[in-house]
Chain A
Amino acid sequence: MPVVQHWTVLLPELALVGGAIFLLLIDAAKPSQRGPHLAFITLVAVVTSGVLAFFQWSHPTTSALGGMVVGDKFGVFARFIILGAGFLATLTAPAYLHRRGLDRAEFYALLLLSTAGMTLLAVSSDLVMVFITIELLSLALYVMAGFERGRLESQEASMKYFLLGAFASAFLLYGIAFVFGGTGTTNLLRIRAETSLGGVADFRLVGLAVALLAVGLGFKAAMVPFHMWTPDAYQGAPTPVTAFMAGGTKAAAFAALLRVLVLSVPELRWDWQGPLAALTVLTVVFASIIAVSQTDVKRMLAYSSISHAGFVAIAVVAASRSGIAAALVYLLVYTAMTIGAFGCVMLFRDGDGERVHLAKYSGLGVRRPAAAALFAFFLFSLAGIPPTGGFWAKWYVFFAAIRSHHAWLAIVAVGASVIAAFFYVRVAVVMFMQEPPEGDEMELDSSVGLKIALALCLLVVVAVGVAPGFFLHLAEKALPFGG
């Protein structure tokens, strides 16, 4: 249990917020400026934050802000995934935004603030902090989703995300109130003490609270039935924002879910494991089936991200050390392959629009073999086909489920991933086995940032595919609150 208090735990977040403030100030110095230097400043802030977080890996567990925030290896691991998502999104954004005349300093400032909210959520050890950081990451994302405000879909994405997000925040806050009513505290470690043997918790209130908290966090993680906003928000938002939301928010939400469910109320696990397992089954099966009928590739990837939330949730249901490690590895691989897939969507263009309709992907394997092969690789990884990182991520999750006597859950999830494989492989079939339509003008986005981002995603997915043990070993060390 962390007793040492030190504010340096917050240094990575201070770097991000500092970057955001700097961006706003240089925008104030010269209003409405555009250009690649804005993205560069953002990248510097994210990398600085990553370096500062890295130094915390070897430190003993500390806490800051009177126990509101904890600096542990789990937090460092989760922060790395989130910062990676922020880094990749920043790399892909400049070219996309420039084409639409949106490359303004506000975008990057919001991205940094949202990233700071996500990393703080991953290290929160108090429910009040969980709530504030979820608001911080969401408010920035609502604006970013609607950043292309001339386009109706973007407005729709922002509005739906905002309305349903506000609704989910109310659930979360209600849950926090009940936790306080049932235990007299909002600190996760003290909630754990109060719900353990010798504690004074009112279990009816805490049980209700856990259900409400799971709804609030399940919304951010996009689990069925709290996923209704996801397809519209992911489809309508500018694609770099979609990639960022799909990767970063999910990692942050699951880090919080693991801390709240597995660490602070482990004594109630007989109560929450069943309902969460039911949600998990619903998520993987429902999302996989709906995704089959999608013809818009962005929308299909949105349903894919919902089904992946279900897979991570299996590791949460396992509620064990191996479950936590499996969830971290899964989130790492998932973030890389999902941002990679959305990056490939940004790659294929015609005129000034993206080719999001599935029919427009026909014959891409002939026209642009390298790019199509890259997209196919990410899709195979998302499907969990063996040599890729996506396979090992699923493997560890199923293994954790079986070891914690939830073998049936693993069996259902394997069934769902067979359905899911169909729609992933279908895109590859369309790309490689159909003739390109006559007179179809298509071009590739040739921006350097996007290429570097795709290369980095590929590197992570291949690295986990080749040496999964190394990453699992790191994740096993990354236990919340230092074990």
Chain B
Amino acid sequence: MLASYLPIAFLLILAGAFALVSVTLSRLISPKDPSPQKLMPYECGIAEIDPPVERFPVRFYLVAMLFVIFDVEVILFFPWALSFKSFPVFSLIAMSVFIFMLGVAFVYEWRNGGLEWD
């Protein structure tokens, strides 16, 4: 059974070997002629103005969480709609419960100011 995984293992070894060989070779045979300009960090061809932003406002996470809530809902809706006719009553109840739970989370976030940016 494990023999069917052999190509994957082979590919893994191949990929690792390729990375190792190309990095080592480029280090060995590439011409080295450093200058201060060449050693500077490269960002769109211009000299760096500010260090990159390290912290994001926590609001972004709230929006991201809202997105995930509705993302999951939509993902679940597709297979539900496809198999709805097979067991209509049960699936309607199950989906209603799901939407209710989701609604509770949404109302909670909305009322606690999760949708306001300031």
Q: Taking beta carbons and an 8 Å cutoff, which residues of A are in contact with B?
A: 21, 24-25, 27-29, 31-32
Q: Taking beta carbons and an 8 Å cutoff, which residues of B are in contact with A?
A: 101, 104-105, 107-108, 110-113
Give the Cβ gap from A97 to chain B, nearest Cβ, in Å: 18
Q: Which residues on B sit within 8 Å (CB–CB) of A29?
A: 111
Q: Are A25 and B104 in contact (CB under 8 A)?
A: yes
Q: Which residues on B sit within 8 Å (CB–CB) of A24?
A: 104-105, 107-108
Helix, strand, loop or mixed for chain B's interface?
helix
Q: Are B112 and A31 in contact (CB under 8 A)?
A: yes
In the complex, A73→B112 CA distance in Å? 42
Given A27-B108, A28-B107, 7 more A-B residue pairs with CB atoms under 8 Å apart are: A25-B104, A25-B108, A27-B111, A28-B104, A28-B108, A28-B110, A31-B113
Q: B110: nearest residue on chain A (CB-CB)?
A: A28
Q: Are B104 and A21 in contact (CB under 8 A)?
A: yes
Q: Are B112 and A21 in contact (CB under 8 A)?
A: no
In the complex, A32→B113 CA distance in Å? 11
Give the Cβ gap from B61 to chain A, nearest Cβ, in Å: 14
Give the Cβ gap from B111 to chain A, nearest Cβ, in Å: 4
In the complex, A21→B105 CA distance in Å? 9
Total A-B residue pairs with C-beta atoms closer than 8 Å?
Answer: 23
In the complex, A335→B111 CA distance in Å? 37
Q: Are B101 and A28 in contact (CB under 8 A)?
A: no
Among B107, B111, B113, the most chain A Cβ lie within 10 Å of the Cβ of: B111
Give the Cβ gap from A184 to chain B, nearest Cβ, in Å: 12
In the complex, A424→B105 CA distance in Å? 45
Q: B100: nearest residue on chain A (CB-CB)?
A: A21
In the complex, A179→B84 CA distance in Å? 32
Q: Which residues on A sit within 8 Å (CB–CB) of B112?
A: 27-28, 31-32
Give the Cβ gap from A199 to chain B, nearest Cβ, in Å: 17
Q: Are B104 and A31 in contact (CB under 8 A)?
A: no
Q: A32: nearest residue on chain B (CB-CB)?
A: B112
In the complex, A27→B110 CA distance in Å? 11
Among B105, B108, B112, B113, the most chain A Cβ lie within 10 Å of the Cβ of: B108
Q: A202: nearest residue on chain B (CB-CB)?
A: B1
In the complex, A24→B101 CA distance in Å? 11
Give the Cβ gap from B117 to chain A, nearest Cβ, in Å: 17
Q: Are A31 and B111 in contact (CB under 8 A)?
A: yes
| 22 A–B contacts, CB within 8 A, in A order | A21-B101, A21-B104, A24-B104, A24-B105, A24-B107, A24-B108, A25-B104, A25-B107, A25-B108, A27-B108, A27-B111, A27-B112, A28-B104, A28-B107, A28-B108, A28-B110, A28-B111, A28-B112, A29-B111, A31-B111, A31-B113, A32-B112
In the complex, A28→B110 CA distance in Å? 8
In the complex, A21→B107 CA distance in Å? 11
Give the Cβ gap from A174 to chain B, nearest Cβ, in Å: 16
Give the Cβ gap from B86 to chain A, nearest Cβ, in Å: 15
Q: B107: nearest residue on chain A (CB-CB)?
A: A28
In the complex, A32→B108 CA distance in Å? 11
Q: A17: nearest residue on chain B (CB-CB)?
A: B101
Among A24, A27, A29, A31, the most chain B Cβ lie within 10 Å of the Cβ of: A24
Q: Which residues on A sit within 8 Å (CB–CB) of B104?
A: 21, 24-25, 28
Q: Which residues on A sit within 8 Å (CB–CB) of B111?
A: 27-29, 31
Give the Cβ gap from B65 to chain A, nearest Cβ, in Å: 13
Give the Cβ gap from A38 to chain B, nearest Cβ, in Å: 14
Among A25, A28, A29, A31, the most chain B Cβ lie within 10 Å of the Cβ of: A28
In the complex, A29→B101 CA distance in Å? 16
Q: Which residues on A sit within 8 Å (CB–CB) of B107?
A: 24-25, 28
Q: A30: nearest residue on chain B (CB-CB)?
A: B111
In the complex, A29→B105 CA distance in Å? 13
In the complex, A147→B113 CA distance in Å? 19
Q: B113: nearest residue on chain A (CB-CB)?
A: A31
